[in-house]
C-alpha cells in the first residue's frame, strides 16, 4: 500500500489525517493509539499500539534496572 498524505495544522501542532483505507488496513478506529518506530533505513513505521508490548517493555526495564551492574560487567 502506498499513500501520499498531507500535513495539516492542528492547533499549535501539525498532524496527518489517515484515510479510512489506512485505518482499515491497520485495524484502527478513532481514539485508538498508534506506535511510531524508526526503520533501519531511517523510515518511520506506524503500527497499532499494543498494550502487551508495553507490559513486556516494563518488565525488561525493571530487569535492566535491577541487574544494571551485572549487565555492565558482562558487557566488558
Task: For residue range 17-38, list pLDDT tens digits in order.
Answer: 999 999 999 999 998 889 888 9
Report whether pLDDT(9) > 90.
Answer: yes
* Backbone angle region of 42, left / alpha / beta, with phi > 0 → left and psi within -120 to 50 → alpha: left
Overall pTM surpassing 0.85 (yes/no): no
CATH architecture, domain defined by 7-74: Ribbon (2.10)
Give the residue with greater pLDDT, 70 vs 2.
70
Residues 71 and 75: their CA atoms lie apart, in Å, by 6
Query: pLDDT band at residue 48, thresholds of 50, 70 and 90?
Result: confident
Residues 32 and 49: their CA atoms lie apart, in Å, by 8
Amino acid at each position: 500500500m502506498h499513500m501520499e498524505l498531507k500535513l495539516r495544522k492542528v492547533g499549535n501542532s501539525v498532524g496527518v489525517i489517515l484515510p479510512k483505507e489506512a485505518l482499515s488496513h491497520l485495524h484502527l478506529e478513532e481514539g485508538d493509539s498508534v506506535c511510531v518506530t524508526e526503520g533501519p533505513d531511517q523510515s518511520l513505521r506506524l503500527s497499532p499500539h499494543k498494550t502487551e508490548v508495553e507490559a513486556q517493555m516494563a518488565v525488561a526495564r525493571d530487569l535492566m534496572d535491577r541487574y544494571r551492574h551485572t549487565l555492565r560487567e558482562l558487557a566488558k
